[in-house]
Amino acid sequence: MSVTDVQFWIALLQIIGIDILLSGDNAVVIALAARNLPEKERKWAIIGGTGGAVLLRILFATVIVFLMKVPFLKLVGGILLFWIAVKLLIPENGGGEDGAEAKMKAGPSLTGAIMTIVMADAVMSLDNVIGIAAAAKGELFLLVIGLLISIPLVIYGSTLVLKLLDRFPILVAGGGALLGWVAGDIAVRDSGIATWIDPLMPAAHYVAAGGAAVLAVAIGHLIARHQAKRHKVIDASSS
């Protein structure tokens, strides 16, 4: 397929469109992972995380047929994403300190934020790249160009979500619930368990997704409360 071919440009637009439509949850995880970083490091976390995620999507697209047939891969990925959702709901400073001192002592690292973004995107992209790879019709060059063009759009979306999280902290719980929902949905669609779950419960993916969303928020909230109480006890004993 040549760049002078109309089909090339149609496929390119399809890839960009699919990637934008499927990147909403990715923008959320990027914003959640970067929200506790110092202001000057946030943009590097977004750029580094998005870049690493896109490289993984390109890799997945080349081996997607094999990956999607590996039993229990989605299940493991769903569990990993659920853990990430809970982790992102827990305040980095544990509720024990405020302001600059807390950031200095317990602030998250830029590398850690980027790794979290890449790991979460790797899990969520297993399904997403199927549509992208199909639109590319086996043309790796077309696939790479389409994903590279979508990078600034994903970065802009992540920056917008990050601003909303700063202004409305309650949305953090909503972001965690969204990641929990995706985790539950991915896990229950695994080929290793879907064959016997689907006949028993046709709406299993809705039940699993909803349950995982609620559970992720509940666990994150409980851990955050426990950490806050522990820090209060430590502060009281040291004063």
Answer whether residue 218 shows pLDDT above 90.
yes
Residue with tokens 């202004």: 167
Work out whether the CA dihedral 161, 165, 170, 172 comes out positive or negative: positive
Answer whether residue 202 shows pLDDT above 50.
yes
Structure tokens at 183: 């985790």
Cite the DSSP H helix spans in the chain: 6-21, 24-34, 39-67, 73-89, 99-106, 110-136, 140-167, 171-188, 191-200, 204-238
Counted residue by residue, the chain has a size of 239
CA-CA distance, 120 to 129, in Å (whole number)?
14
Torsion angle of C-alpha atoms 27, 42, 12, 55, degrees rounded to 10: -100
CA-CA distance, 58 to 46, in Å (whole number)?
18
Residue 212 pLDDT grade (very low, low, confident, very high; cuts 50, 70, 90): very high
Region 44-67 average pLDDT: 75
Region 115-125 average pLDDT: 76
Which residue ranges make up each domain of the chain?
6-238
